[in-house]
Amino acid sequence: MATTESPVLLTPGPLSTSTRTKQSMLRDWGSWDVDFNQITGRIRSRLLEIVYGDSTHECVPMQGSGTFSVEAAIGTLVPRDGHVLVPQNGAYCQRIARICRVLGRRLTTIDYAEDVAVSAADVDRELAADPGITHVALVHCETSAGILNPLQAVADVVARRGRGLIVDAMSSFGVLEIDARKTPFEAVIAASGKCLEGPPGMGFVIARREALVRAKGNCHSLAMDLYEQWEYMQKTTQWRFTPPTHVVAAFDSAIEQYLEEGGLFARARRYRENCRILIEGLKRLGLQSFLPLAIQAPIIVTFHAPPSPGYAFSSFYGAVKSRGYILYPGKLTTAETFRVGCMGQLGEHGMGGAVEAIHQSMQVLGISIAVAARAGG
């Protein structure tokens, strides 16, 4: 079981990082120093290599959370008179739609239930019906429920219709394959504190080079202009404004460890095994996962709350936390749920330790296994 001094984060990010990653933040860096600029360059190069995009795309790092980079991508790559189609089946899709509204970009949505994956056929119909749509913005893994949306099928439709695809790959990058050689996209967006297991504080956009060049002058913002950030980095190797130096150094270390582990396929294998142990373990306790396995991404799993008088999320959360694990609240509008992440460094006991902590917490709170077993019907 984990220790309460350093609880394991079973969340969609931030997540638990390795000791080596933490130790890499102990040195101070000058933001214009050549050594630090080499770190930035190495990160940019390696992120491009993960998606096989080094010959066609550019990696533009940005300060801030992943949402900052999503807004930067939309604000930069979508012209001010552009029109964005957002298929939405959760909170993060809805956030993209809200960004479009705030930025004054014309918006169309396709709305799904929270347990239904996006349909490429629906996207195709919308693009056929409205030739004014310039871009589609897709969330690859919608972590409201943990649902996996069909990136390749949507990308093929968008490319065939001659539009641009912007992919929020925040919770999939580095674990679920994205290959720029066979999956056409204008931009893929992710962040340091997700599947690559760095600390939070830095996002990045992998943008098609031609699209980035065309985007000059589009952006609504000085600080969030991807084109200006990219151009300045190309000329100087430096960030335009003060970067999160410790986060950048730690992210560099995390990527190094990712490659040492075996890259995408090894990381995916570890997360899938975490997901399997979690779902099977909690099923034995009577807790039912929200999604069918066919559309469940191995990133975060949503579970139905047990219909037991002993259950309230706050007390359940506290009991599990006292045993060394941090859960995440549900984010669905249709059901009472809680979420458990499969990412990050889970400690010597791994996901099995988390399952045992949940089991003990249920016993302490008087959540009957028999009652919980009826939660899924």
Residue-wise pLDDT for 49-63, tens only, equals 999 999 999 999 999
Condensed to tens digits (0 to 9), the pLDDT of residues 249-304 reads 999 999 999 999 999 999 999 999 999 999 999 999 999 999 999 999 999 999 99
**Whether residue 86 has pLDDT greater than 50:** yes
CA distance 4 to 8: 9
Tell me, what's the pLDDT at 193?
97
| Cβ neighbours around 184 below 10 Å, total | 16
Helix (H) or strand (E) segment spanning residue 221: none
Average pLDDT of the chain to the nearest whole number = 94
Q: Are 194 and 161 in contact (CB under 8 A)?
A: no
**Whether residue 45 has pLDDT greater than 60:** yes
Tell me, what's the pLDDT at 24?
97
Tell me, what's the pLDDT at 231?
98
Confidence of residue 330 (pLDDT cuts 50, 70, 90): confident
Tell me, what's the pLDDT at 5?
66
Do 8-15+263-373 and 19-260 come out as alike in CATH topology? no
Condensed to tens digits (0 to 9), the pLDDT of residues 180-223 reads 999 999 999 999 999 999 999 999 999 999 999 999 999 999 99
Strands (E), the chain: 8-9, 57-63, 83-88, 106-111, 135-139, 141-142, 147-148, 164-168, 187-191, 202-208, 300-304, 325-326, 328-329, 337-341
Any bridge partners for residue 58, and if so which? 207
**∠ CA 4-10-16, rounded to 5°:** 70
CATH for 8-15+263-373 (3.10.450.50, 3.40.50.620, 3.30.300.180, 3.90.1150.10): 3.90.1150.10
Kindly report the CATH number that applies to the domain delimited by 19-260. 3.40.640.10
Tell me, what's the pLDDT at 17?
97
Tell me, what's the pLDDT at 332?
78
pTM over 0.85: yes
Closest by CA to 127, choosing from 100, 148, 155, is 155
**Whether residue 355 has pLDDT greater than 50:** yes
Tell me, what's the pLDDT at 3?
45
| Domains of the chain by residue range | 8-15+263-373, 19-260
**Whether residue 377 has pLDDT greater than 90:** no
**Whether residue 225 has pLDDT greater than 60:** yes
CA distance 41 to 50: 15
End-to-end CA distance of the chain: 31
- Report residue 338 as tokens: 């809680």
Tell me, what's the pLDDT at 61?
98
**Whether residue 227 has pLDDT greater than 50:** yes
Any bridge partners for residue 191, and if so which? 203
- If you count them, how many residues does the chain have? 377
| Dihedral over Cα of 216, 221, 226, 232: its sign | positive
Condensed to tens digits (0 to 9), the pLDDT of residues 87-144 reads 999 999 999 999 999 999 999 999 999 999 999 999 999 999 999 999 999 999 999 8
Tell me, what's the pLDDT at 376?
41
- Report residue 130 as tokens: 């409205």
